[in-house]
Amino acid sequence: MAQCVQLVNVDGVDVLSPVAAEPCTGLVVLTPIEHANLAFNPFILSSEDGILVSAAIAGVWATAWCFKALVSVLHSDGNSETN
């Protein structure tokens, strides 16, 4: 389980001392399993990261639609009649 700790100097030696978890103003110590879950999971995104990813996807779709429309205009013969 993750712990909130603070680095304290005791007699010239740095020691990790537990502190209150809410709000954690010190360091967060993770177990190796917690670190592995966080380090390799690409789906853990902040709200800002999610917005950036969705905006990038929307941008790619909009660009593809523009190219499709451009190709359609270039291949049309100028006649608006359809048979």
Rounded CA-CA distance 44/22 in Å is 22
Q: Which helix (H) or strand (E) holds 17?
A: strand 13-18
* Statement to judge: residues 25 and 1 lie in one domain: yes
* Statement to judge: residues 33 and 67 lie in one domain: no
pTM beyond 0.85? no
* Statement to judge: residues 79 and 65 lie in one domain: yes
Task: Note down the domain range covering 27.
Answer: 1-44
* Statement to judge: residues 37 and 68 lie in one domain: no
Number of domains in the chain: 2
Write out pLDDT tens, residues 36-54: 777 677 778 889 999 999 9
Write out pLDDT tens, residues 58-77: 999 999 999 999 999 998 87
Residue 13's DSSP bridge partners are: 10
* Statement to judge: residues 37 and 62 lie in one domain: no
* Statement to judge: residues 1 and 40 lie in one domain: yes
Rounded CA-CA distance 17/19 in Å is 6
* Statement to judge: residues 40 and 1 lie in one domain: yes
